[in-house]
Chain A
Amino acid sequence: MSLAIVGLRKFWTRTATVVSLLVAATVEVLYFVLVGVSYRSASSGSSGIDKPTVTWLLTFPGAFEAVISIVFAFFGLIALIYVATASGSEWSWGTLKVAVTRGQSRWQYTVATFASLAIVLLVGVLITFAAGIVAVVIGASIAGLAVGNPVDPSALAGVFFKLVRCWIALVGLTSVGYAVAMVAKSQMAGIGTVIGYFVASIFAPALLPDIVKEIFKYLPFSTAVDSIGIAGPPTTGAAASATALDPNVALLITIGWLIGCLAVASISVERADISG
């Protein structure tokens, strides 16, 4: 555990860490501001806006779920790239080599490095969540909606558990990129794979036959999404839940993917010839 804590030092000070968080938070704020502007325009005469959805996005307690799902979507993609980059640099900078020559167990180093990254992701989730809450207030204000009570104790308990689920989902999802980068000994392989997989996971279900969709349901991206247990806005929630896995089942499968990916990464590093 101490290795993971000390390992935080090497990630916190990376420019990429700060930039990733700033980009995720900025995109998130822009999203809610644009929703507020759209709603205001619609109210003043234009049409074509889904008012129940906007209300869910910009008023509490619905906004909590909205923010968490936006955190997962925006921060998730950035986190995938970030983790693949950070893990691949252990090879390109040769720092894994130093750990091995100092008598550090390879699999322990592999797991501890990912644990450090998981802690960075937790902080990232909290920061982008906080930014999202602020953005909702701004968006609601622009839209002219009453934002509701963001500190309602009955809602906050559920929010806490969904945030934890969001974090676990992100950790599970990013472990795929981590494993690819460690097996391929390459940042680019990790980044390319996770971006390709992320995009494919969004578009493939609409294009693929049902039998393949059934398989996709159990793959890391789908299980990570379902594991958070976001019901969605009133108009689409029922339709979305019809094809989704039960959140608890999805969470278990996500944890399974996480363990599997870490095992693959560890075994690969254990067996690798290290040069460079």
Chain B
Amino acid sequence: MTASATLAISTTDLKKSYGRQVALAGLNLQVPSGVVYGFLGPNGAGKTTTMRLLTGLMRPDSGSITLLGQPFDRSRHALLQEVGALVEAPSIYPHLSARDNLIVMGATGRHVPRARVEELLDLVGLRDRAGDRVSHYSFGMRQRLGIAIALLNDPKLLLLDEPANGLDPGGIVGLRDTLRGLATAGKTVFISSHILPEVQQLADIVGIIAAGRLVTQGPLEELLASQALVRVRVRPEEAAAAFALLSKLAGEGRVEIPYPDMAWLTARIAADRAAEVNRALADAGIYASGLEAGSDLESLFLQLTAPPVPPPGQTRTGALTGWTGGGAA
């Protein structure tokens, strides 16, 4: 068995541009089989483009894709029949009922038995409204139907773009249970999402993309541990002394001053050492006006996808709020 045979998805130097706009600048994804993989990135980072390439909706400019151990280019149709996908908004016939949508969609690709349609209506909680026109459905109900369509062929690999969009809390819990159940059964679930707490609860492995490149990828627990941060705010005139002190505690090269004007220091140090940091600063006569510790996915995401710090004297607009503009789809 080759290494790629144990990977559900593998991409090598995947590139895609829309005119002059580079969407993917050499993406190297490695998604093991039988896991829930959270694919994260800011708007315009290239997540949707990646989903479109993985589902054959678009062709890459260069690079290669391997799905379920097979080269995607050579056996595209056969491979996609083992894949379920919800890319962007659910695509459905609004004048048909949920049941008819599933029957009509089930006629494409691999044949879907009628019993599977009824099973999925139960699974996504649409049984009571299965005969109603979808145009009368709420956004969340359409989303449920989109997920049911993705599950039609009992896929080995499930690709979901923002699957929790519009779902009520009960729907989110149901979705989480379903996806975890699929992973437990040996199937692979690849989720692109902005809802970071949801991904943190669900994903085994996380990949973060920014500006068309993968900036990190690995088991969620390891990433969170390796990226643990303690952030300290001091008076600007004390920043240099605090920097030296934190460097002793955290190690050389593990302390940054991302926002010099505000004298926030960031030390890569385990969150449970926050009290130790505070005590050391106080012992040195530096009293922190702010101290944050954590290793949540949101902090990791923001840290890895933040734009570079501008040279001294220039202002970074929007950096603190995350509204830093988009790129590709």
- Tell me which of A94-102, A172-180, A216-224, A229-237 binds B: A94-102
Q: Which chain B residues border A94 with CB–CB below 8 Å?
A: 88-89, 91
Contact with A101, one of B80, B89, B92, B103 (Cβ below 8 angstroms): B80
Within 8 A of B (CB), among A29-81: none
Given A100-B55, A101-B55, A103-B83, CB of A6 within 8 Å of CB of B107: yes
Residue in B55, B80, B85, B109 whose Cβ sees the most chain A Cβ within 10 Å: B109
* B99 to A: closest C-beta gap in Å: 10
| CB < 8 Å neighbour of A276 from B83, B88, B108, B152 | B88
The digit string for A4-48, where 1 denotes a CB below 8 A from any CB of B, is: 001101100111000000000000000000000000000000000
Shortest distance from the beta carbon of A75 to any chain B beta carbon, whole Å: 22
Task: List 6 additional A-B contacts (Cβ < 8 Å) besides A102-B105, A103-B80.
Answer: A9-B96, A10-B95, A94-B91, A98-B91, A100-B57, A102-B80
Given the complex, which residues of A lie within 8 Å of B87, measured CB to CB? 97, 101
**A105 beta carbon closer than 8 Å to chain B:** yes
A203 interfacial by beta-carbon distance below 8 Å: no
Question: What's the minimum C-beta distance from A181 to chain B, rounded to whole angstroms?
Answer: 17
8 Å CB contacts to A: which residues of B101-144? 103-105, 107-110
B108–A3 touching, CB < 8 Å = yes
Contact code string B26-66 (vs A, CB < 8 Å = 1, else 0): 00000000000000000000000000100111110000000
User: How far is the CB of A6 from the nearest CB of chain B, in Å?
Assistant: 4
Instruction: Find out whether the CB atom of A13 lies under 8 angstroms from the CB atom of B100.
Output: yes
Per the bound structure, the CA–CA distance linking A2 and B112 in Å amounts to 13
Given contacts A98-B108, A99-B108, contact A274 B57 (CB under 8 A): yes
Contact A102/B110 with A6-B104, A275-B58 known, Cβ cut-off 8 Å: yes
A136 to B76 CA separation, bound complex (whole angstroms): 55
Q: How far is the CA of A100 from the CA of B149 in the complex (A)?
A: 13
Cβ of A104 under 8 Å from chain B: yes
Known A-B contacts A101-B56, A101-B80; A13 and B96 likewise in contact (beta carbons under 8 Å): yes
Q: Distance in Å from the Cβ of A69 to the closest Cβ of chain B?
A: 32
A102 and B153 within 8 A (CB) = yes
The 6 closest A-B CB pairs, nearest first, are: A94-B91, A102-B109, A103-B80, A103-B81, A6-B107, A104-B108
A152 at interface, CB cutoff 8 A: no
Q: Tell me how far the C-beta of B158 lies from the nearest C-beta in chain A, rounded to whole angstroms.
A: 11
Shortest Cβ distance from residue A93 to the other chain B in the assembled complex, whole angstroms: 6
CA of A95 to CA of B56, assembled, Å = 14
Give complex CA distance A199, B58 in Å. 37
Q: Is the CB of B58 within 8 A of A104?
A: no
**Interface check B79, CB cutoff 8 A:** yes
Instruction: Check B243 for interface membership: any CB of A closer than 8 A.
Output: no
A109 at the interface (CB under 8 A from B): yes
* Chain B proximity of A99: nearest CB distance (Å): 4
Chain B, interface size category, equals 35 or more
Main secondary structure of the interface of B (DSSP, over half): loop
| Nearest CB in chain A: distance from B93 CB, A | 5
- List the interface of chain B (C-beta within 8 A of A): 52, 55-59, 76-83, 85, 87-89, 91-96, 100, 103-105, 107-110, 149, 152-153, 329
Q: Is the CB of A10 within 8 A of B55?
A: no
Which one of A9, A13, A97, A101 has the highest number of Cβ atoms from chain B below 10 Å of its Cβ?
A101
Chain A residues with CB under 8 Å of B107's CB are: 2-3, 6-7
When distances are taken between beta carbons in the complex, the residues of chain B under 8 Å from A274 are: 52, 57-58
- When the two chains form their complex, are residues A9 and B104 in contact, meaning their CB atoms are under 8 A apart? yes
Measured in the bound complex, the distance between the Cα atoms of B81 and A29 in whole Å is 49
How far, in angstroms, from A94 to B91 measured CA to CA in the complex? 5
- Which B residue sits closest to A98, measured CB to CB? B91
Measured between beta carbons, the chain A residues less than 8 angstroms from B78 are: 103
In the complex, which residue of chain B has the Cβ closest to the Cβ of A14?
A: B95
A210 within 8 A of B: no
A 241-273 to B, binary, CB cutoff 8 A, 1 in contact else 0: 000000000000000000000000000000001
Chain B residue contacts of A275, Cβ below 8 A: 52, 57-58, 88, 329
Residues of the B chain whose Cβ atoms lie less than 8 Å from the Cβ of A104: 77, 108-109
A220 to chain B, nearest CB (A): 29
For B109, what are the chain A residues with a Cβ–Cβ distance below 8 Å? 99, 102-104
Smallest beta-carbon distance A271→chain B, Å: 9
Residue in B58, B93, B103 whose beta carbon sits within 8 Å of that of A6 in the complex: B103
- Complex: how many Å from CA A66 to CA B93? 38
Q: Is B96 in contact with A10, judged by CB distance below 8 angstroms? A: yes
Report A-chain residues with C-beta under 8 Å of the C-beta of B153.
Answer: 102
Bound form: Cα–Cα A95–B102 in Å: 12
Please report the C-alpha to C-alpha distance between residue A104 and residue B52 in the assembled complex, in whole angstroms.
Answer: 15
- Chain A residue nearest to B91 in the complex (CB): A94
- A162 vs B78: C-alpha distance in the bound complex, in angstroms? 43
Query: Could you say which residues of chain A place their CB within 8 Å of the CB of B76?
Result: 103
The answer for the CA separation of A101 and B95 in the assembled complex, in Å, is 22
